[in-house]
Amino acid sequence: MSVIYTEMVRRYFTEHRPLAMEALGSPQEAEDFFRLLGAQIEEQVQQSEDQIAGRAPVGETYLQHVGRLRLARAQAQPPPRRHPGRRWPPVARIRGRATSPP
């Protein structure tokens, strides 16, 4: 599933952060970065999903169980990008450096 998040990150950088996209280096380095960030997003979504779903209540039916898990999954997904001022973490910070590219 991280392919979805990887594509989301790639599209975001291509459309909204062209200078940061150039700072990523070679196409392979950029792809590695997108995969890394996509995997991190997927992990955070999974943790949120587990937390939102919680434990199954006693007596929960199969359909209630499925509904609870589907609702948790929907609520844990990252929201669509609505705020133009919101930014992803600086590229260099994700790579372990202290500075951010332009």
For the chain, the structural domain boundaries read 2-94
pLDDT at 102: 44
Q: Tell me: the pLDDT tens digits for 23-47?
A: 888 999 999 999 999 999 899 989 9
Under a CB-based contact definition with an 8 Å cutoff, are residues 67 and 74 in contact?
A: no
Q: What is the mean pLDDT of the chain?
A: 81
Q: In the structure encoding, which two tokens stand for residue 32, read together?
A: 């590695």
**Does the predicted TM-score (pTM) go above 0.85?**
no
CA 87/CA 49 separation, integer angstroms: 23
